[in-house]
Amino acid sequence: MQQKIISFSLFFIGGIIIGMHFPLPHNALAYCGGTALALIVLSLMLSANNQVFLPLFIISGLLAGWTNFSWRIDTTSPYHLIHYIDDVEFVDKTEVAGWIVKEPEIREFKTNVTLKPDYIRLDEKGKKIKISGGLVLMQLRPSMKWTYSKYQYGDYVVTRFVSLTGPAAANNPGVFDYQRFLRNNNIYGLMNIRKDYQLRLLTDQKYNNPVVDFALTLKKQLLWTIKKTMPHPESAFLGGILLGLRQGLSRTVQDEFRASGVAHVLAVSGLHVTIITALLFGLLTLFKVPRRFLAPPIIAGLIIFAIITGGRPSTLRAVIMNGIALISFCYLVSNLRTSLLFGISTAAMIILFFTPMILFEASFLYSFTAVLSLALLTGPLLRFFNKYLTSVHTMILFLLGCVLFGTMLVDTSLIFHDPPFALVLLFILFLVTYTFRKFFPRSFRFSRLPYWFISFTAAQGAIQLGLGPLNAFYFQKYSLAAPIANFLAIPLIGVNVQLGLIAGIFGFVPFIGDYLALVINASNWLAVKLFLGSASFFAHAIPYPDLTPPPMAFMLFYYGLLIFIAYQIPILDHIRIKKIEWKPYLSNNEVRKRLILASSFIILFLVSGLAGFYASQSKQLVVTAFDMSVFGMGGGSSQLVELPDERVILVDGGLSVVKKRGRAIDWNMGSMVLGRVLRGKRIRTLDWVVLTSPDAESSGGLAYIFESFYVKEFIDTLDFGPQDFSTDLDLDTFLNVLADDYFHKKFDSEIVQDCYTEYVSLIEAVTRKNIKRTVVQRGHKLYESQSNGSPLTVEVLHPPAERLKVFRTVTNNSLVLKITYGNFSCLIPAQITIDGEKSLLALGDALKADVMIAPFHGYKGSVLSAFVKAVDPELVVIQTLPSRYKKQEVESNERLYQKFGCRTLRTDLSGAIVIKSNGRDDFRVETMFKKQK
């Protein structure tokens, strides 16, 4: 039966994948659901009579998964929340009433509250509309004052004078899709609550769940005990690993955890649940509870623990798996591997039945891949170690090979320079081996080490093999410290969790409980301090490089290879049996000739098909105008130009710091947008990085780009002397080169200081990476070539040899770039305003372009009629932020462009805008989302 459920779960997941690409229409759901249920019942009846009809079994699983996914994402009901979402915040005011269905999640500057709507009223006098599907995420702000923290799980609340908006979709290729993430968790609406009068509590309609209420009361008491008996930040760490409350940890500590590869301890998962299962099992065994009575209280405790920690997929999976393992241990008899696979399959099917949309979310795949790797790969690795690591020399050679090969896969620069991490580690390993060589007998081998160490090493190797590519694919990062740091982290976390839980339990004892908890947590403090210290050490000692995400073909091949390794014995046995069965047929010469001929035709067909496909993909010029915002914050502009001969130009880098309500927020567009897009496109080398203006909104993100990518040449417009362009550049010299009277008068203003600071950071990165710097002016041809028989030119049209001395001198001396490919041309005028445009009019027909990026973000003072007529663009792309303060300026200029017969697209409405041309036919335009007609 277990094998059948494992197989059914695989087909169920296959059905979900089909549904993701081909969702069923609403009117077919009932029919398909009934058919799937009938087929499942029929399969069970046949199975009860020891009859298995495989096609029926497969179809029932596929249809069940397909129907379930289509049903969960179905929003056709007129009472679904999605039909009442406002397009723009601050416009429509919607009244929403409902229950808080999750414990509020406290963040640094907000509290997230999940609301299940009861009804919606579109205006104060309108009728109440009952809502049948979709949740609302309310973000409570500290400006609510004393009411900010009074709302709890189960409360019935009503909003007033608040916009109900939809979450932002991915606005640039390859970046995090917040809308998809929330919708995968059934959240369709967002509400920002900034004032206390916008939210009120109705006490007579409170939602009660005794089990959840008990669990959350227990959580508060445990947290209170932790805070009383352990100082900060150790108490925040203990609250994170024990209660799932990671918000108390500083950003620095969380970054160190990620860099050292131990951040998984903060995501309450299988490790924590297994530790608590072992603790409860030990306590019940200590009190001599009979074996048949062990499972119910432990499973009840695990359910309470899952509620306390927020019921995340990793926790639910671990609770279900441990529960099944306990039932198998107490009441059934089955081998460990089958029990593990049965538990994993059942847990996956239960979670995906309720939330099938999370199948390809990082948290879900990460959790299940870790356990599957542990179950399937630990054994093969253990056999490999015992067979081949037969001496100290082979062990050291194996370690050296792992370090060298792993580093080459991650980043070859780490081997020889910047810094030579791999060579240093290889030297240390060699030195340790040579120093202690006499302490190891000749007969020493890996299999003679303690069994717990052998098993632990194999298990760690299995997990790293399973999760490595997922780290690169989802996070574009990989911690080289993880394999080493986890050898210390996992034993320590067992001590931290168990002592913390015991101290929390003692905290319930009247009068003396706090003192007992204090004694236990005093010793636990040392273990927590050691954990935090080791994470910090490994984070700073070993690199945490950025990675280009592997292609899907590689992922399929890699995990296919791991499955083969896990099942190699039965696979090879099956091949040997089939070889014996087919031997009489294969010995026939005629049959062999036919097989060879058929194989040759298949290979020839595949090769010619692939060759024809790649030949048909004509090389194109691709210009991407980014939406330089993340969650509505950001600034500046940036364009990526991919030439048809595979050379790449990056123009500007956006801001690195955002000012919001008096706070400076680290919001680097270089890392948050440009870096992710470039790695998503598998671009590691930039032929040119162009800085159009020294403004902070152009230069801010470029320092990160210089540090993280290989840049061949940096294009600048500021003509410093060779000695001045250095990290010692002083403010006076900088201002003299800018020659802007406003900057001289306001030298101590925030805008000037930001401009100077960002440019110095850029100089430091260029100098450290030894990047070639070229100063250009009007008439400079950055690149000239032929591609696909069409001329390809990248030329600089501005600034002139003598810098303009006009209003806004800095912006009006911005670099203007024109890219021409065959019959197509694109003009990038950067930050220039009317005075800069007047200077460009002298170029005449050289200004003409099919596409123009609107100067100065389309703001006031950037549209000169004569300039627009001279360029005569078919399309104007306006790179602007979704700001209500600049909205009227942008809309006014958009109408002006349209009066001149230009089509317009705005990044605040359409997301990133991609223009493609083959140099011959009309250009094509693609946008990230369709808000703009």
Q: What is the pLDDT of residues 350-384, one digit of tens each?
A: 889 988 998 998 888 888 888 888 888 988 999 89
Report d(CA 218, CA 228) in Å as an integer.
15
Place of tokens 């108390």: 248
Q: What is the pLDDT of residue 419?
A: 56
Report d(CA 832, CA 830) in Å as an integer.
6
Report d(CA 680, CA 763) in Å as an integer.
27
User: Which residues of the chain register pLDDT less than 50?
Assistant: 90, 931-933
> Which are the contacts of 250, defined by CB distance < 8 A and separation ≥ 6?
233
* Long-range contacts of 342-348, Cβ-Cβ distance < 8 Å, separation of 24 or more: 342/2, 342/5, 342/6, 344/317, 344/368, 344/371, 344/372, 344/375, 345/5, 345/6, 345/9, 345/10, 346/5, 346/9, 346/320, 346/321, 347/316, 347/317, 347/318, 347/320, 347/321, 348/9, 348/13, 348/317
Q: What is the pLDDT of residue 393?
A: 75
Structure tokens at 83: 């039909």
Structure tokens at 25: 């229409």
Q: Is 61 exposed, middle or buried (0-12, 13-18, 19+ CB in 10 A)?
A: buried
Q: Closest Cα partner for 189 from 285, 108, 98, 274?
A: 98
Report d(CA 885, CA 553) in Å as an integer.
46
Helix axes 513-541, 482-506, angle to 10 degrees: 170
Structure tokens at 319: 């609770």
Predicted TM-score (pTM) of the model is 0.84
Q: What is the pLDDT of residue 433?
A: 66
Pairing relation of β-strands 95-100 and 156-159? antiparallel
Q: What is the pLDDT of residue 468?
A: 86
Report d(CA 778, CA 813) in Å as an integer.
11
The secondary structure of residue 122, as a DSSP letter, is S
Query: How far does the chain reach from its first CA to its final CA, in angstroms?
Result: 56
Q: Closest Cα partner for 473 from 378, 373, 361?
A: 361
List beta partners, residue 818.
795, 827
Structure tokens at 759: 């440019």
Q: Closest Cα partner for 693 from 635, 744, 653, 727?
A: 653
Q: What is the pLDDT of residue 933?
A: 42
Structure tokens at 386: 């015992």
pLDDT tens track for 269-291: 777 888 888 888 888 888 888 87
Q: What is the pLDDT of residue 932?
A: 47
Q: What is the pLDDT of residue 91?
A: 54
Question: Is the N-terminal amide bond of 570 cis, ω within 30° of 0?
Answer: no
Report d(CA 803, CA 782) in Å as an integer.
20
Identify the sign of the CA torsion 580, 581, 585, 586: negative
Q: Closest Cα partner for 547 from 419, 688, 678?
A: 678
User: Could you write out the three-class secondary structure of 685-722?
Assistant: EEEEEECCCCCHHHHCCHHHHHHHCEEEEEEECCCCCC
Report d(CA 647, CA 685) in Å as an integer.
9
